[in-house]
Amino acid sequence: MSYLITRIIAQVLENNKLPGAICSLACGGADIGIAMAKDERIDLLSFTGSTNVGKQVAVTVQERFGRCLLELGGNNAIIVFEDADLNLVIPSALFAAVGTAGQRCTTARRLFLHESIHDVVVEKLMKAYAQVRIGDPWDANTLYGPLHTKQAVKMFLDAVEVAKQQGGSVVYGGKVIERPGNYVEPTIVVDLPHNSSIVHTETFAPILYVLKFKTEEEAFGWNNGVKQGLSSSIFTKDLGRIFRWLGPKGSDCGIVNVNIPTSGAEIGGAFGGNKHTGGGRESGSDSWKQYMRRSTCLSKGKNVVSP
């Protein structure tokens, strides 16, 4: 797919009398990434991937005083208050947690439910999970496909086991699906403490940790309590709470949503996050500035007009 997209872009460039090689694709492993990070001819290196690899990229690029734009991991949370519209909450949480089999940086990993609606939402969510059509991703009727590698399946199983050891209860899924390919069941885990190490770990798989909260302050604190800061959402009808969520004492993420899920991106908005998410931004008005070289230009002469 990447190859085909590159060919299309090259054709558009050539049709406009520009070299097609302006957009190139190099396929390879870590060797390609290391070479690019070390190459002084590359003024700006934009990297999308895990936080661990992003740290290595940042150090390597900084050693040559280059610039890098990092879009790394996310441990995204959805907070649902007692006044939320559950007709919005259930499909939103399902899409955010299960879409692309949990293999998206903006996937919802944590779901915070007010104690008064916790049991109702969990029950409804389990029923929604049971309706997910699993199968070949090339089939138009499929909603949920496989994980990308056998290693990802192992990481999924390991995370489920750790969640159980730390006090969690698997109320839906948790197993490998017996069929050709790297298929696992979309999974819901409840009863974990908010500060459990597994809850603070981004596992690139369809595991949703559901936590029960009492107060707004508690929920906002849990949202900000992880090292990543990519995407976040609240569901509420309280305008005062919405303003607090969007303000300095609210979400510390780069993407702050209200009554919509964590996954997805607005094409006109700056996409990226804070803290261990890397701080980079793609798309939107903030993006193009990072691809430019900033200069302060001074001149003196009779033909120079000053404002």
Residues 6+ positions from 177 with CB-CB distance below 8 Å = 134, 183, 184, 185
pLDDT per position as a tens digit, 117-154 = 999 999 999 999 999 999 999 999 999 999 999 999 99
**Percentage of the chain surpassing pLDDT 90?**
85
Q: Which of the residue ranges 51-55, 186-190, 210-214, 227-231 would you say has the lowest mean pLDDT?
A: 51-55
**H helix runs in 138-210, sequence order:** 150-165
**Would you state the structure tokens that stand for residue 51, as one six-digit string?**
């936080």
- pLDDT over 70, % of the chain: 97
Tokens representing 175 are: 């197993």
Assigned CATH class of 1-72+269-291 = alpha beta
Task: Give the architecture (CATH level 2) of 76-258.
Answer: 3-Layer(aba) Sandwich (3.40)
297: three-class secondary structure by DSSP: coil
pLDDT of res. 304: 56
pLDDT band at 1; cut points 50, 70, 90 = confident
pLDDT of residue 184: 98
CA distance 29 to 5: 20
Catalytic residue at 71?
A: yes
**Strands, E assignment, the chain:** 44-48, 67-71, 76-80, 108-114, 169-172, 187-190, 207-213, 228-229, 231-235, 255-258, 274-275
The structural domains of the chain, with segments of one domain joined by +, span 1-72+269-291, 76-258
User: pLDDT for 183-226, tens place per residue?
Assistant: 999 999 999 999 999 999 999 999 999 999 999 999 999 999 99
**What is the pLDDT at residue 213?**
98
Active-site pick, 14, 71, 115, 185: 71
What pLDDT digit, counting tens, does each position of 79-95 carry?
999 999 999 999 999 99
pLDDT for 288 equals 81
